[in-house]
Amino acid sequence: MSEADEQPAATATGREIWIEKYRPQGLDDVHGQEAIVERIQSYIDQDDVPHLLFSGPAGVGKTTTATAIAREVYGDEWRGNFLELNASDQRGIDVVRDRIKGFARSSFGGDFRIVFLDEADSLTDSAQAALRRTMEQFSDNTRFILSCNYSSKIIDPIQSRCAVFRFSPLGDEAVAAQIREIAATESIEVTDDGVDAIVYAADGDMRRAINSLQAAATTGDVVDEEAVYAITATARPEEIESMVTDALAGDFTRARSTLDTLLTDIGMAGGDVIDQLHRSVWEFDLEEREAVRLLERIGEADYRIAEGANEQVQLEALLATLALKAV
């Protein structure tokens, strides 16, 4: 790796940001996405890289995989052959298209260059239609890698021109292994329950896991469960469970006060409480009927909150229906 290769990444205090420091360089270092890595490696080995469409949730390795491809294909010269753009660029699709044109037209040594377009699902259908024409126009010497959260928002003509890869949330083992590795390199002491808490709070998002580790390591000597929950605005699974079981037992007042703690003291967003509830439903010791009833109410509250309803009102109403059925 050349000296100029790495952009310095630093926090306000001058410390390096670990998500950049530990961003996998090669495809081999991308954890937990083995099937995807294997297929992409074979494209590279056969010198036959198609346009690619990556979809999946945040922090699971989409951007990382795209830059790893560029490193594998171009080695040290990867930056000159890799154009990273964000489709949600405020200045609009025309600016994006002009930059792609400028990049694709400028002369260079290799067979093709790579345009990486992040947040491609933020483009309107007509902007995507324009993008599709741009892809066709430059497909001789340019490969596109589009990244998005929802592939269903990408128009069919683009999907059919790309090999589509669906990135899944990372497995607990993959996240735990990476956290232990970074902690060892940084000489940070992390307890087992600390690792578990980071893994739980991250919910498959490696960026969130690494950021939690760094934040917890800054606040104390040992990264344990306490330290992690203190900085991640995540409820402990036990708190979520007691809130639900109290409500189901008819103790609305206690359930509501737990909810209050989550929203006010821990500072959780209502949507995050919903997500945690949803993840845990089957881990609670509930009768199937109760679990089903809870899920139904979670769906309702989730939708209303997404539509802009007051979070606290919706969550209290959720607990209230659980409590009402009990009495």
Ligand X SMILES: Nc1ncnc2c1ncn2[C@@H]1O[C@H](COP(=O)(O)OP(=O)(O)OP(=O)(O)O)[C@@H](O)[C@H]1O
Q: Does 55 bind ligand X (CB under 6 A)?
A: no
Q: Does 194 bind ligand X (CB under 6 A)?
A: no
For the record, the structure tokens of 220 come out as 């104390």
CB of 164 to ligand X, least distance (A): 15
Q: What is the C-alpha separation between 220 and 229, in angstroms, rounded?
A: 13
Nearer residue to Mg ion within complex by CB, 55 or 232: 55
Q: Does 58 bind ligand X (CB under 6 A)?
A: yes
Tell me the C-alpha to C-alpha distance, in Å, between residue 33 and each of 11, 21, 39, 119, 168: 29, 20, 10, 20, 8
Q: CB neighbours of 126 closer than 8 A, spacing ≥ 6?
A: none
Q: How many residues bind ligand X (CB under 6 A)?
A: 21
For the record, the structure tokens of 77 come out as 């010269």
Nearer residue to Mg ion within complex by CB, 63 or 312: 63
Q: Does 41 bind ligand X (CB under 6 A)?
A: no
- How is residue 8 annotated by DSSP? P
Q: How many residues bind Mg ion (CB under 5 A)?
A: 2
Q: Does 86 bind Mg ion (CB under 5 A)?
A: no
- Segment near ligand X (CB under 6 A); pick from 52-60, 150-158, 219-227, 300-308: 52-60
Site for ligand X in 210-269 (CB under 6 A): 210
Instruction: Report the b/e string of 187-207 with b at 16+ CB within 10 A.
Output: ebebeeebbebbbbbbbbbbb
Which residue in the set 36, 52, 61, 151 belongs to the binding site for ligand X (CB under 6 A)? 61
Q: Does 180 bind ligand X (CB under 6 A)?
A: no
Q: Does 63 bind Mg ion (CB under 5 A)?
A: yes
Q: What is the C-alpha separation between 147 and 151, in angstroms, rounded?
A: 9
Whose CA is closest to 65, among 106, 32, 89? 32
Q: Give residues in contact with ligand X (CB under 6 A).
A: 19-20, 22-24, 30-33, 58-64, 170, 178, 206-207, 210
Q: Give residues in contact with Mg ion (CB under 5 A).
A: 62-63
